[in-house]
Amino acid sequence: MTTQPISRDRATHYTWGDGCDGWHLMRTPTLSVIEECMPPGTQEVRHRHAVAQQFFYVLEGSLTMEVDGVTHELHAGTGLEIPVAVPHQARNHSAAPVRFLVVSQPPSHGDREVIPLASR
């Protein structure tokens, strides 16, 4: 197997939510690394993963993360672990786009249950 450098330009791109972008930088059976970009005023649905643990790391901008009812403001150079089965939601309340990495182990695709804020 030959390892090659990866960048957003060479990564598989997808869109999600209301105009948000994602790039699969690494996608194996045991690990996923995605760069995501959320425009101002966008948010993901609140959800949890039954198997995957995640780590969100902000590259540029400001990301609001609600984790099990607690709100965290993450800025460039900061990250936050999301343990397995813990409800969470990413939001961009700022006036600028936010770019961040989402590292999931194992990959979280297909492992998502939508959780309304009132349910815990």
Q: What is the pLDDT of residues 20-61, one digit of tens each?
A: 999 999 999 999 999 999 999 999 999 999 999 999 999 999
Write down the CATH number for the domain with range 12-114. 2.60.120.10
Question: How many Å is the maximal CA-CA distance in the chain?
Answer: 48
Q: What is the pTM of this model?
A: 0.93
Render the burial of 72-93: b for 16+ CB within 10 Å, e for the rest: eebeeeeebebeeeebbbbbbe
Query: Domain ranges in the chain?
Result: 12-114
The model's confidence at residue 68, banded by pLDDT at 50, 70 and 90, is very high
| Mean pLDDT, the chain, integer | 94
